[in-house]
Chain A
Amino acid sequence: MINSNSGIRKTDVINRRMFIIGAAKVVVFVGIVARLFSLQINENKKYLTLSDKNRIREWKLPPTRGNIVDYFGNVIAGNLKVYQLHIIPEQVENFNYLLVRLKNLLNLSDKRIARINKLKAELKPWDSIIVSENLSWSQFVKINNYLYDLVGVKPVMTISRNYPFNDVYTHVLGYVSQPNEQEILENEIIQERFVPGMKIGKLGLEKRLENHLIGTNAIQRYEVNAYGKRINQLEHQKGEQGSKIRLTVDTEIQKACGKLLNEKAGSISVMDIYTGDVIAMYSSPSYNPNLFLFGISQDEWQLIRNNPLKPLINKTLSGLYSPGSTIKPIVALSALENKVIDTKFKVKCTGKMELYGQTFHCWKEKGHGWVSLKNAMKQSCDTYFYEVARLLGVDRLNITAEKFGLGKKVLGDYFDNEKKGLFPNTKWKKNNLGKGWVLGETLITGIGQGYTQTTPLQLCMMTAQIANGGFAVKPKIIVDSNPISYEDAKQSMESGLLFDTNSAELLDKKLFINQRNIKIVQEAMFASTNERFGTSYKSRIDDPKYQFAGKTGTAQVKRISKRERELDLELEQIPYKDRDHALYVAYGPYVNPRYALSIIVEHGGSGSKAAAPIAKKLFKLIIDRHDLRNKQSNFERITV
């Protein structure tokens, strides 16, 4: 115990210093608890959110497009369940074996197989590869039968755009397809909602109304691990289908138009003369928009593209034609309005007219003799209208023609491929061609040749505005939020009080100076169809319920040489490209008119032979469906 003293002192030192350490330990532990408290209690919400952000990933699914329906509610652009085939690479045991099996089952091309292999290399192993976007039912059944042998293959049901009436509405609706990069960048809504596999409108109303039709994405929430692999599904948030769009068109009439123009190039437009509703708008030939949904094959595309009847052109809106004699009602009206002529004014037709050494021929070589307005219109005497045009002058004619909608777009900005057409005047020629107007040009303008270019829908609207007594209509193809009923529209026009539903103002929509002149033109058009020697007399319907008034037109596509005139060839003897366009504009029923139409058959020959008979077949259907259409008063409020 020599150093016991020192030992005790040492123990004291150790104990004292241990006490200091002990105190320090308590302080540090309290500090750690405080930190735990601040993280777990104070900032719990923040970290819970961060934790959820870590583990929850959202997947957007393609939105479901809104349906487009016709006036009666029939779906004309809808959505269809389609069967797709996906492969999930990480679940596949033997990828090459699987591809060989699928190739045999589905007849996949080598190109497709190469593409699948490429996708497999690019994607994460748990991302699914779409092998086929649209399996037929029999393929789907086949796959399901062999599913035990096809490990890693997933048959999927999804929704795709569908056009149940195939080619009937192609030029109105357009079609949808996969967007390209530029289309995604241009439209913010598409950009926001884009997911691979989504399709957007490429043409027509599908394109124009994209933002209404598109719909919102369904969202699936998955729990994912740190590597982004889906572990399990937490939630499915349904997307909202795009707005339903109701059009003014009638599928039955539209279909009939398609049948009547079968294997012909041309166009038929039908319009309600009071409301301006486009009842039908068919451009022939058409093509099947369903072909574009899953990528059109090269062969099918070439077939459409190289068709000499040009199915890709929407002839109703983009086709420009000389109106031919269908312009005569406007020429007559303009002359009457400007008091250049009256009903008693007569011209002697000898079959031709000489002016400054130039000969202007009437279609009837022998001439019509002395003709008044009514007879001239009835028999479509060219000489009479040469003379009237000469007296009237092109500038006054131009004013009337533009009033009735020529030279302007009919449906405004709904179709970007709609053309304005042209109705010339002296100023136009000076500005655009740099030459002065020649009187001879006035004469040919008077029979709808020369510079004048019109679209079929313009002619239809022109006729509608004559038929309704000379009032402006606002053509439309979409049923708007505050639609005016047929009766209201008619009544307001007849009473002279015109109510614009859009601006809620009373407007002067009178296109005439003296309504009597409109009546004269109407009577002349009636005679043309329903009186002996009328150009479309053969196509008349005597039943007053369906009786209609109209005007034929035959538009030359090239100058007729003297030789040809003497030969007087039959239609079949002329090469297709050189044959005249056949036109017909009409409205009916004559008493209480309701609808106007325009028909154009490209290279169909004379209007009375090729176009007017189509009207006869169509009018019965149009009038018969009027009551049905009128009953469809339960207007759905749709805002566009």
Chain B
Amino acid sequence: MFQHDRLNNDITLFQKIKNLDYILLISVILLSVLSVFVMYSTDGGEILFHTKNHFVKLAVFFPLMIFVAFFNIKFWHNFSYIIYFIVILLLIYVSFFGIKSSGSQRWMDLYLFVLQPSELMKIAIIMCLAKYFHRIKIENVNSFTSITIVLSIIIIPIIFVISQPDLGTSILIALSGLIILWLGGMKIKYFIYSFITFLISLPFIISFLKPYQKLRILTFLDPDRDPLGAGYQIIQSKIAIGSGGLNGKGFLKGTQSYLDFLPEKHTDFIFTLFSEEFGFIGSVGLLILYSIIIFRIVRIGAISRSNFARLFCFGYAFAIFIYIVVNLSMVLGLLPIVGSPLPIMSYGGSSMLATMIGFGIVLSAKINHKQIIA
């Protein structure tokens, strides 16, 4: 065990570069390039604010991903709890001193850019729970103490995020946490029971929702009840996607986005613009690209010797999958509107930072897939 440790610490920089997962890397690069072009289209075919900033962020965070990858996976294992704890502190900070914008308080000003700690929590919670399940004995997984601890790990950040308020991100954090619980071996019946409890308590939960959140659910059930108000976004989004057809309207030719019918086209509705301009073929292509990324991450998890790396990769792959599904379901009118960005494609620094760090840890797991963690 000691020997192994030393062996892996001896990996040279050259070997690290050689051991990077190039399929994943190329897919991420492709996605990044594509996102710049789409951002260019949202700016109306000009290099304006969003295109520039998006490019700058990619230029900063992509090297950061490589930087993260060059740390041993053991390092990330060791620091998982601390990272989780730091992000919790940031969430607490934000809930007191954060920047307010359009009714919610989620951001902190870091001079260079504005950080949204709840986005980082999406990664931190996976790291934290992966470490917990890595260390715990399989026999103790379903013990009362264990369940209490893991549920606390999930619920504490969610309380902060929900109070910002940010329902979308808190759901994503919860789902990311729950998947680790699932993978870690928690009894299936617990999931079934909680799901049933959730369904039963749904009416109560709804009664606790804020009026605008209730409106979103009502709008989801019937977008035409207020086509110029609450239903506007989803109706326009469906029109844009539907009118794209098989081949799309062509790059820079999406009338819905050009003529400002699409709301939030830079962020949550970026897929709408993409789908309008590139059609069914382009959309399926984008889904395939995402699938490759997810599949590579799962594969890296599968070849990892440590359960931490394995849990992290599987968990992170699922998280990416969930982000995509929630975002696409929302713009396709399959789910109510909850704020959730599309990884890499959407404009937004914190989301991209978290995603890139996640990829970095995955790549670190790939480089050090033989690393055993006690």
List residues of A whose CB falls within 8 A of some B CB.
1, 3, 6-7, 9-11, 13-15, 17-18, 21-22, 25, 28-29, 32-33, 35-37, 39-41, 43-44, 46-48, 50-51, 54-55, 223-227, 231
Contacts and interface: CB of A to CB of B under 8 A. Distances in A.
Contacts of A29: 287, 291, 325
A231 B334 CA distance: 33
Contacts of A9: 138
Contacts of B321: 25, 28
A472 to B, nearest CB: 65
B162 to A, nearest CB: 25
22 contacts: A6-B139, A10-B133, A10-B138, A14-B183, A17-B185, A18-B183, A18-B301, A18-B302, A25-B321, A29-B325, A32-B325, A40-B241, A40-B245, A41-B280, A44-B244, A50-B239, A50-B243, A51-B243, A51-B255, A54-B256, A225-B261, A227-B260
A3 to B, nearest CB: 7
Contact of A35 (B138, B179, B298, B332): B332
Contacts of A11: 307, 310
Given A1-B1, A32-B325, A32-B328, 6 more contacts: A9-B138, A28-B325, A32-B332, A35-B334, A47-B239, A54-B239
A4 to B, nearest CB: 10
A362 B329 CA distance: 106
> Top 10 closest A-B pairs, CB basis?
A47-B242, A51-B243, A225-B259, A226-B260, A40-B280, A13-B185, A47-B243, A39-B242, A44-B245, A48-B243
B318 interface: yes
Given A21-B314, A25-B294, A35-B332, A55 B307 contact: no
Interface string B126-162: 0000000100011100000000000000000000000
Nearest to A44: B245
Nearest to B133: A10
Nearest to A5: B138
A19 to B, nearest CB: 10
B57 interface: no
A33 B287 contact: yes
A6 B275 CA distance: 48
A243 to B, nearest CB: 39
B312 to A, nearest CB: 11
A36 B275 contact: yes
Contacts of A22: 298
A44 B238 CA distance: 10
Contacts of A28: 321, 325
Contacts of A43: 242
A393 to B, nearest CB: 80
Nearest to A3: B137
A225 to B, nearest CB: 4
B329 to A, nearest CB: 7
Which of B133, B244, B325: most chain A CB closer than 10 A? B244
B183 A17 contact: yes
B184 to A, nearest CB: 7
Given A3-B137, A14-B185, A15-B302, A55 B255 contact: yes
Contacts of A33: 284, 287
Contacts of B183: 13-14, 17-18, 21
Nearest to B182: A17
A40 B275 CA distance: 9
Interface string B245-271: 110000000011011110000000000
B166 to A, nearest CB: 23
A54 B314 contact: no
A22 B242 CA distance: 29
Interface string B169-199: 0000000000100111100000000000000
B242 A54 contact: no
A41 B138 contact: no
A6 B138 contact: yes
Contacts of A18: 183, 298, 301-302, 314
Contacts of A6: 137-139
A28 B287 CA distance: 12
Given A6-B139, A10-B138, A32 B298 contact: no
A21 B243 contact: no
A226 to B, nearest CB: 4
A51 B240 contact: yes
Nearest to B240: A51
Contacts of A17: 182-183, 185
B283 interface: yes
B311 interface: yes
Nearest to A2: B374
Contacts of A7: 307
Contact of B284 (A21, A36, A225): A36
Given A14-B183, A46-B242, A54-B261, A36 B301 contact: no
Contact of B318 (A21, A41, A50): A21
A51 to B, nearest CB: 4
B259 A223 contact: yes
Contacts of A13: 138, 183-185
A225 B243 CA distance: 16
B252 to A, nearest CB: 14
Contacts of B258: 225
Which of B243, B298, B321: most chain A CB closer than 10 A? B243
B241 A39 contact: yes
A316 B303 CA distance: 108
A51 B242 CA distance: 9
B260 A48 contact: no
Given A18-B298, A40-B246, A55 B259 contact: yes
Contacts of A231: 259
Contacts of B184: 10, 13-14
B241 A47 contact: yes
Nearest to B248: A40
Contacts of A21: 179, 182-183, 314, 318
Nearest to A51: B243
B179 A51 contact: no
A223 B254 CA distance: 13
A22 B256 CA distance: 35
B279 interface: yes
Contacts of B325: 28-29, 32
A40 B279 CA distance: 7
Interface in B279-297: 279-280, 283-284, 287, 291, 294
Nearest to B134: A10
B245 A55 contact: no
Which of B259, B275, B280, B328: most chain A CB closer than 10 A? B259
A17 B317 CA distance: 14
A50 B242 contact: yes
Nearest to A20: B182
Interface in B181-221: 182-185
B245 A48 contact: yes
A13 B294 CA distance: 20
B46 to A, nearest CB: 15
A442 to B, nearest CB: 79
Contacts of A50: 239, 242-243
A44 B318 contact: no
A54 to B, nearest CB: 5
Contacts of B260: 225-227
A55 B301 CA distance: 48
Contacts of B291: 29
B310 A39 contact: no
Given A6-B139, A32-B332, A225-B260, A14 B242 contact: no
Contact of B259 (A36, A44, A48, A226): A226
Nearest to A33: B284
A32 B275 contact: no
B270 to A, nearest CB: 15
B238 to A, nearest CB: 6
Contacts of B245: 40-41, 44, 48
A48 B242 contact: yes
Contacts of B283: 36, 40
Given A18-B301, A41-B245, A44-B245, A36 B332 contact: yes
